[in-house]
Structure 1
Amino acid sequence: MNIKRHHTALLALAGTALALSLTACQSDDTTRKSAPAWTASAAGKAADGGQTGAAGTAGSTDPARAAASKGSTGRTGSGGSGGSTGEQQSAATRVCTARDVTVTAATQGGAPYTHLVLTAKNTSGRSCRLAGAPHLQFLESHKQDVPVVAKSKPAAPVVLTAGAPAYALVKLSDGGVDEDNEPVSAFSLMLEGDSTVIAVTAPGSGVAVDPAKALTGYWTPELRNGADDF
């Protein structure tokens, strides 16, 4: 009888231990399942970027996210470089023709007048690009274009918005009395890329030109000391 009772007590104890073990396993499994669910929720908020708290702070300091944010503003990376883009847009602007500009001439400095300043004003009402240098011929006896001074070439294309001017400095002579100067009351000019001849009236009663000394600079938005001194 004692043996039977002892066996019964052992079975009861084993059943109790098994029940406690199953309860502990179920509790641990519930904890494991609930933890990933919270973590996933926090990660989702951080990815959305608009939440505060520990998860939101971690998301806002993510280097990849910060780089993407800067890139979207256009201030960093290749997209933020305005110089090359601006030059490409300028080069794509249509070239000015004789119908787009009005060209006038004025003497520079005092007597003896050795230089002219040419002004080409965009009167077309839309932007155009003034390429190269003016092609000048002062005298019927000299059909070749006046030589161009290379150092006067601007660093960027000259784009004229509606009403904007560009300038070119022209040397007529050295101002010496012994030069082979000839009087000029008007002269011809052509723009780069256009074969139309523009007749330009010389200022005052005319100018004196030495064909052997005449030079012209490139079109520029403004006259510059050094580059346009010749």
Structure 2
Amino acid sequence: MSTFRNRSTVLAAATTAVLALALTACGGDDSGTKSAGPAKRNSAAAGSTSESAKDTDTTTGGDTTAGGDTTSGGSTAKNTSASKGSGTAKGSTGSASAAAPVCTTKDVEITAAYQGGPPYTHIVLTAKNTSGHKCEMKGFPEIQFLESHKENVPAVAKSKPAAPIVLASGAPAYALVKVSDGGKDEDGEPVSAFSVVLQGGGGQAAVKAPGASGIFADPANAKTGYWTYELRNGADDF
């Protein structure tokens, strides 16, 4: 009987040891839930770290640095570049280059000559740009022939050019002026010099009349054309 009990005790102890080893190898716990081994836990932690790194790149690096469309990257740089664009500058430069200052009496030399032969009813004013830069001849010459007649000689509307008259350095502009009807009974006076005002703030000049004895001017019949690049048939016939 003692031998049988001893064998039973040995078998029971061996069985208990085998069960303990089996439980340890399978990774069981008291709750019956299997837990991940050390290798699996380390792998999961590494994957989580990699995802965090990717998220960090998306927020502060990656495409942003390379000129992507994120808030802190390329789009902001592109928009800044666009805001620095040359639209305004070009606009400003274009306006400045297209505009020309008004010709003043310091910019042009004004002379007068007869137009045609007797009875010398018309003269031609020539304004030559001597300034060294371009300038614009505004409108028509405002002329007063007589000290006793302070009204400007009226302009003929049909002689107005379609575009502004901008003179390059050394270029002339012309204006045809009717001084009288050439009649004996006109109420006029001889004129050796007369005043010309340039419109647009160009100032006033004294112009010597052509001929040794000057011209005969009748303010009641006098008319002037606009400044033009050249005298034109029809438009400057009056």
Does TM, scored on the shorter chain, surpass 0.5? Answer: yes
Structure 2 residue 164 is matched with structure 1 residue 157: yes
Q: Is the 8 A contact 2:102 2:202 kept in 1?
A: no
Structure 2 residue 223 is matched with structure 1 residue 211: no
The percent of aligned pairs where both chains have the same amino acid is 70
Cα shift at 1:91: 6.5
Match of 1:143 among 146, 150, 161: 150
Instruction: Tell me how many residue pairs correspond in the alignment.
Output: 144
Cα shift at 1:94: 1.2
- Which structure 2 segments of 5+ residues have no match? 1-93
1:70-149 paired onto structure 2 within 5 Å: 92-149=99-156
TM-score normalised by length of structure 1: 0.60
TM-score normalised by length of structure 2: 0.58
Equivalent in the alignment of 2:5:
none
Q: 2: CA distance between counterparts of 1:109 and 1:127?
A: 30
CA distance 1:225–1:189, shift in 2 (3 Å): same
Q: 1: CA distance between counterparts of 2:230 and 2:189?
A: 29
Match of 1:224 among 215, 225, 232: 232
Q: Please provide the CA RMSD for this pair.
A: 1.7
Larger radius of gyration: 2
1:62-77 paired onto structure 2 within 5 Å: none
Q: Is the 8 A contact 1:98 1:194 kept in 2?
A: no
- Cα deviations by residue, 1:63-86 (Å, 9 ceiling, x for unpaired): xxxxxxxxxxxxxxxxxxxxxxx9
Q: 1: CA distance between counterparts of 2:150 and 2:117?
A: 29
Residue type of the partner of 2:146? Answer: L
- Which structure 1 segments of 5+ residues have no match? 1-85
Name the SS for the 2:176 alignment partner: strand
Q: Is the 8 A contact 1:90 1:159 kept in 2?
A: no
CA distance 1:121–1:112, shift in 2 (3 Å): same
CA distance 1:165–1:188, shift in 2 (3 Å): same
Q: Is the 8 A contact 1:114 1:171 kept in 2?
A: yes
Cα shift at 1:105: 0.0
